[in-house]
Amino acid sequence: GLRLAARSGSCHQCLYQFLAFVPPSNGSLSKPGTASVMVDTQHPLTLLLNSSVGDTQLCKIQYHFGEFGNYSLVVKTLNESTKTVSCDLIINEGPINSYLPILFAFLVYMGILAVLIVMRLVMKIDPVRNWVYKKLNPRETDRLINSELGSPNTTDSINCDPALHSWSSASRQRLHSLDTFRGLSLVIMVFVNYGGGKYWFFKHESWNGLTVADLVFPWFVFIMGTSIALSLSSMLRWGSSKWKVLRKILWRSFLLILLGIIVVNPNYCLGPLSWDNLRIPGVLQRLGFTYLVVAALELLSTRAEGGTWEAPYPALQDILPYWPQWIFILMLEVVWLCLTFLLPVPDCPRGYLGPGGIGDFGNYPNCTGGAAGYIDRLLLGEKHIYQHPSSSVTYQTTMSYDPEGILGTINSIVMAFLGLQAGKITLFYKDQHKQIMSRFVIWSIVMGIISAILTKCSKEEGFIPINKNLWSISYVTTTACFAFILLLLIYYLVDVKKWWSGAPFLYPGMNSILVYIGHEVFENYFPFKWKMQDSQSHAEHLTQNLTATTLWVIISYLLYRRRIFWKI
């Protein structure tokens, strides 16, 4: 008899997992021993065939199987005395092209975009435009209220002091690129949370590495930091006291944390909320705490009178005046490094960054997340953190682990602080587009160099691998590198050249809290979800997930047209 085992290409240093036992053929070629198995098609697999007697390795095959394909691994004995065999992989039925639904969806959305562009060109014809305006009578929505988490609208004020209305019209304009960036991140987040068409690259990485799904949350944190810089500056310029601003920061943070614990909680689908299994960490909780720390830090360092500090090096005038902030952030990072690499964790090696389970050859099955997981389980309790981490499938981990845990919050603060730096750049170089864009490029290069050093340009072999579950510092610098580049592109297209209005991402970006909470609460309700005919079909999943995401964009557009904005 034969023993067939497999190991996923995405599972680093994993043990082979038993698939099937193939009974002997008893020398009869007409009735060979057979066994049927179903295997993963997301990543390449390594198949290992051993003899059941003596556990001798007979053959090893690496292959990337296709979805719904039918394959045969034919094993023949070539020499009885030397026990040599041949292993041939035969394709009985070819796999389907699982990416065709994505291509079709892309073409559909491009067609819709083309129609909208044509309509916009037609609207430039005076008679047509006048007729449409007369029929629709649209409201003027240029003066919009601040969106949540401090979107930079310098037209709004807390104290409407007439003496402060001497600002130039350019400085009073809203930076739509920030709302567009936030909206883009939110739309991808909603799509990913709804399932992402069941494609692996729209799911979170099982442990080390980066997928599309891993980009959006740090981008949201990043743009929150950018908005903090601009909104606090605006509030203080309009004469609001620091104590009043601080009370607003505390209230916003409290509401975000409360909404995350009470409203957006993954355990509510299990029945009435109970403290016995209530998840304490979460996305909104982390946003609330991160906002509190970064906004308070910026408030303490900002001059209420809006004065500027003359830096000895003009090229660093957006950094040197805030050296206490940098010291604080560096101290936080030292705390993260010390806890991560020096904290003793029972039955685990110090500085362990692995997933546990069958990873690292099964030597540390209960060490998921190392110090980060240990701190959460110790302080919050196993039942009050996330029960189904992304590592549970590939690495077969059994320990609970929360990707929004306590230790990772330190690096989310660092991420928001980098976004805060982007906001300071736009303040110091107001209307100097080349300066702003060049500094975005410099920061992106710096973040990329740091990431390359920390990871050694490797997924698994670096000093500190990119890891969303741990929110490792290399994960922060890598996603910040992409964030600076993306913000540069959107800023250039939307606010500099004005080639793009930011639509449709602008609308959810201006109502982000409503869209995020709404998509979580109504996730299992029609028309956001319905019973599918084939639950294994990418096409059906993609249709459902794109429909749900598009509906939230439409809802945010309708709210925008009616000047309805939910802010906290």
Q: CA 555 → CA 96, 179, 221, 264, distances in Å?
A: 35, 16, 23, 19
* Among candidate residues 166, 298, 278, 171, the one with its CA nearest the CA of residue 225: 298
DSSP 399: S
Asked if residue 335 lies in contact with residue 410, where contact means CB atoms within 8 angstroms, the answer is yes
Query: What's at 261, amino acid-wise?
Result: I
Catalytic site includes residue 165: no
Question: What's phi and psi for 114, nearest 5 deg?
Answer: -60, -40
The angle, 0 to 180 degrees and rounded to 10, between the axes of the packed helices 213-237 and 473-490 is 70
**96-115 exposure pattern, b = at least 16 Cβ within 10 A, e = fewer:** eebeebbeebeeeeeeeeee
* 343: alpha, beta or left? (left if phi > 0; alpha if psi -120 to 50): beta
Phi, psi of 196 (to 5 degrees): 60, 30
**Catalytic residue, candidates 176, 204, 384, 538:** 204
Residue 25 CB-half CA count within 13 A: 12
Alpha-helix residue ranges (DSSP H) falling in 238-282: 242-262
* Distances, alpha carbon 474 to alpha carbons 209, 330, 369, 395, 486, in Å: 11, 15, 16, 22, 18
Active site residues: 204
